Amino acid sequence: MSFLPFTRPSIDEATIAGVAEVLRSGWITSGPQVKAFEAALSQLFAGRPVRAFNSGTATLEIALRLAGVGPGDEVITTPLSWVATANVILEVGARPVFVDVDPRTRNIDLDRIETAITPATRALLPVDLAGLPVDRDRLYDIARRRKLRVVEDAAQSFGANWRGRAIGACGDLVSFSFHANKNLTTSEGGALVLSSESDIAPCEKLRLQGVVRSGEDGMEVDVLGGKFNLTDVAARIGLGQLPRLEEFTARRRLLARRYFERWDRSLGCELPVEDFENANWHMFQIVLPDRAKRAEFIAKMRELGFGIGVHYPAMHLFSLYRALGWREGQFPHAERIGRSIATLPLFPAMADADVDRVCAAAKKVLS
């Protein structure tokens, strides 16, 4: 049998043909396809304004800038995420303040947030790890009481919901990623759901070098922006993916259910929370038992024909963050999970039998 990666995008022939049409059109950078993609996303998110970007990292940085975060400020976040989550805080001149995770959900522990708030705290930046949403009710209760902005790192939770409302349909600033491994992809890209119409103009300026055009030839720059615009080629992929979002999410949930049904619980692994209403099942992650060495598990699974991912090491232990004063032992849950977490194959094109094969192979390796 062919090698089974931990993820693979599902791009249909109609979308491929649509991309070819864009390439033939002669307009391949930001243009009508981007506008159409933004409009479709806005409709998905209850009419809220949305702007597309060339990465989810860019959307986080711009969200922080729109929230007024800058030098001298602190932003509370989780140590268990892709390192971009904290890197963007440094990029705007602020300081990331890590809070340990809940060992069950693997998301930021909301019970620990308030003790980390200081007079310098400007915003909260939670992450929906593997597509399991952070409790939005409790999150925004804290934010309202402590007068803090919220930048939702929803890079992994596109298509998820909280109590019946799509992630992105409410809240403050909501950032999505459309990287190749995400539930909906534009190959590379992202989108930012804005908190109000007043955010549109500054967002567009920051997205493209701070430029504002007027008349036939007028141009002004009054703020330092970046080069973060999405191309029409990428947007056309996204437009092809959006009508299949419910199909993708439903299939992922079915595959996740099968993992729970077929996984041998005697292996001693920690399984994720069984949430089939809110989570989009971006990833199916296990935490290996202490006796298992993750590197060996990955290598042996690869020999058997299966790709295993690592998402993610605890980022406060990277040299960049150790240099800022973070150290081992501060966040024991994130550190333990970060050492032993492993992402199993899960993507819509997988067959039920693929799940069975992964479970059988893992049992063989871990036994």
Q: Which residues are catalytic?
A: 182
For residues 317 and 100, is the Cβ–Cβ distance under 8 A? Answer: no
Residue pointed to by tokens 């419910």: 246
Alpha helix (H) residue ranges in 147-293: 200-207, 232-241, 245-262
Asked if residue 158 lies in contact with residue 186, where contact means CB atoms within 8 angstroms, the answer is: no
Residue owning tokens 């192979």? 361
Tokens at 27, concatenated: 């307009």
The tokens for 218 are 């007028």
Amino acid identity at 267: L
Residue 262 to residue 329: CA distance in whole angstroms: 35
Residues ≥6 apart with Cβ < 8 Å to 227: 54, 208, 209
Q: Which two tokens stand for residue 329?
A: 């032992």
Q: Report how far residue 236's alpha carbon sits from residue 327's, in angstroms, rounded to the nearest whole number.
A: 44
Residue 19 is classified by DSSP as: H
